[in-house]
Amino acid sequence: DEELRKQKAIRQMIIASLIIILLLIVSILVYRAIKKEIARRRRLREEELAAQQQMMREAALRVMDESGAEVELSLDEKYRRELLENAINLAREKPEEVAQLLRTWLSEEEAG
Structure confidence by residue, pLDDT tens digits, 51-100: 999 888 888 877 877 766 555 567 777 888 888 888 888 999 998 998 89
Closest to 63 in 3D by CA, of 55, 51, 53: 55
The parent domain of residue 76 ranges over: 2-111
The DSSP line for 9-62 is HHHHHHHHHHHHHHHHHHHHHHHHHHHHHHHHHHHHHHHHHHHHHHHHHHHHHH
Average pLDDT over residues 5-21: 97
21-33 pLDDT, tens per residue?
999 999 999 999 9
CA proximity to 40, closest of 103, 108, 96, 111: 103
Per the structure, how many domains does the chain have?
1
* pTM of the entire predicted model: 0.45
